[in-house]
Structure 1
Amino acid sequence: MLVIEGLTKRYPTGDLALDGVSLTVPDGQVMALIGPSGAGKSTLIRCVNRLVEPTAGTVRLGDTELTRLGGLALRRARRRMGMIFQEYALVERLTVMENVLSGRLGYVGFWRSWLRRFPLSDIEEAFRLLNRVGLDHMVDKRADALSGGQRQRVGIVRALMQNPDLLLVDEPTASLDPKTSRQIMRLIVELAKERGLAAIINIHDVMLAQQFAERIVGLHAGRIVFDGAPGALTPEVLTAIYGEEDWSATIRKGREGEEDDGEGEGGKAETATDPVRIAAAQ
């Protein structure tokens, strides 16, 4: 369980990005974080894993108070938080398998990681997860040869390779077409449920948030102005989050949206012919 209490972030410029945010995300719950640009969504996620240092407040993951940690203890705690990035954050010249196994770097020693010698159990788990997301046939492809949807799937698997307790997801569909966006959101939700993970998904698309998240938190100017079920989103609530606009069509489409179950980019593509260039540690 993730517990955030009174989280505040003020930058040296004086800008207040977060203003006393408090919320609890139980294990197994997928929460969508919505709000306008500059509302503090990305800052909140990055304060949780301490990529951004909060000014005040506490963050606890299970029994661990993350805001008190430093050095080795913080590095170990970050292994429990899988991060999925908007721009994928893959190493372009490395293969799919090499990028996936980088999720284990916090668990293996320096020289093993440098030589890319991972335990056989890690390699087997990587194959299993790549099969789960429909990329088992692309293990030896370079990341720069993948489509956007395929890259995001690699990023999801890399995060899961950490065996995390929490998923932090920052705009996973911002660079994807509508069909692939639904597929990626569906995949993240399914995997979080399968593993009983708490998940926070920072997302601009209100309709996707309504369709896939079980809870929605709306931020405005660094404060929570809505926290409830997708069905409780009304035009009045969206006006409080984003400002004055005719939200009736957004609400209707979000509630009536039909999910597309086609394979799309997650389906089988060309078969990789080269062997995987990862050595199992003896």
Structure 2
Amino acid sequence: MLRLEGLSKVYGTGDRALTDVSLSVEPGQVIGLIGPSGAGKSTLIRCVNRLVEPTSGKIFLGDLEITGLSRGGLRQARRRIGMIFQEYALVERLTVMENVLSGRLGYVGFWRSFFRKFPPEAIENAYRLLDRVGLSAHVNKRADALSGGQRQRVGIARALEQDPDLLLIDEPTASLDPKTSRQIMRLIVEICDERGLPAIINIHDVALAQQFVRRIIGLQAGKVVFDGSPDELDADVLTRIYGEEDWSATIRKVDEDGEEDGEDDDAGSEEHVAALDRERMAGLT
């Protein structure tokens, strides 16, 4: 589904962020991208949708070469690539529903998006997605009234509203407490499994990556120095990626408590609230 061939990035300052990175991601496969700060993790995922322009190499999404696209072609291709951000990137004054519907901006004309006139099917899909991420009862809440975990759930629903072929996820748990972090990772992996959706997750928490993803790629100074299963991520491999350290605690997998976090539990579905919200949203069509 996604294929990188010899991807390199050198900034104007002469700093080399990526060197000859080649990898592929199959449908439904979720990859944890780990490495120290400055290893090139964020640069790599931003090169995929050309938020950062690669210096050399090729990027393919299916049969489409992303690196060979014009501005107009790139705009079309970006519809197929959902992005989930560390700091959520929500519009604080807009409601949960309006933020999710912004995932359709690449599909509607300027004036329809300006006046928030989205097609009925887009609104129905947004309701389904909000139910899936546990926010049916919060449709009309402003984004600035949500907890961190709830905001990240909105970001996930917004990315899925694009109906993407690929998810790029930049530090989705960095601003969250440990319990909520596990829930968000679990939600992302479950949704990717359900949809056969490939994803690359840039993540600093090695134990969390071990717990939830089946493939881990380690970057060091812009080069791939590890590509394997979580079980292969031993002290020697972590030393190769990060340098000398006592890794005994880091490679111990996080205990799974299987509970839902209290702060986000109020995001559960309430049928009568959802029905009222559906009536209010009719004005968007």
> Could you tell me how far 1:263 is from its partner in structure 2?
4.4
Residue aligned with 1:250, SS: coil
Counterpart-to-counterpart distance in 1, 2:257 and 2:58: 38
2:149 is equivalent to residue 149 of structure 1: yes
Q: Which amino acid aligns with 2:255?
A: G
Alignment check: 8 A CA contact 1:117 1:278 kept: no
Residue aligned with 1:128, SS: helix
Residue aligned with 1:47, SS: helix
Q: Which amino acid aligns with 1:257?
A: D
Counterpart-to-counterpart distance in 2, 1:31 and 1:197: 11
Give the superposed CA RMSD. 1.5
Which runs of structure 2 are paired with 1:59-74 in the superposition (5 Å)?
59-74=59-74
Residue aligned with 2:21, SS: strand
Q: Which runs of 5+ in 1 are unaligned?
A: none
Counterpart-to-counterpart distance in 1, 2:102 and 2:246: 45
- Which residue among 262, 265, 268 is the counterpart of 1:267? 265
For 1:258, the equivalent position in structure 2 comes to: 256
Using the size of structure 1 for normalisation, the TM-score is 0.95
Deviations 1:143-181 (A, max 9, x none): 011110000000000000000000000000000000000
> Could you tell me how far 1:41 is from its partner in structure 2?
0.1
Counterpart-to-counterpart distance in 2, 1:95 and 1:280: 12
Counterpart-to-counterpart distance in 2, 1:172 and 1:278: 32
| Number of residue pairs the alignment of both structures matches | 279
Deviations 1:9-37 (A, max 9, x none): 00000000000100000010000000000
Alignment check: 8 A CA contact 2:147 2:264 kept: no
**Share of identical aligned residues, percent?**
70
For 1:101, the equivalent position in structure 2 comes to: 101
For 2:164, the equivalent position in structure 1 comes to: 164
Alignment check: 8 A CA contact 1:116 1:279 kept: no
Q: Which amino acid aligns with 1:155?
A: G
Residue aligned with 1:124, SS: helix
Q: Which amino acid aligns with 1:73?
A: G
> Could you tell me how far 1:72 is from its partner in structure 2?
1.4
Q: Which amino acid aligns with 2:152?
A: Q
Counterpart-to-counterpart distance in 1, 2:67 and 2:257: 39
Q: Which runs of 5+ in 2 are unaligned?
A: none
For 1:279, the equivalent position in structure 2 comes to: 283
> Could you tell me how far 1:71 is from its partner in structure 2?
1.6
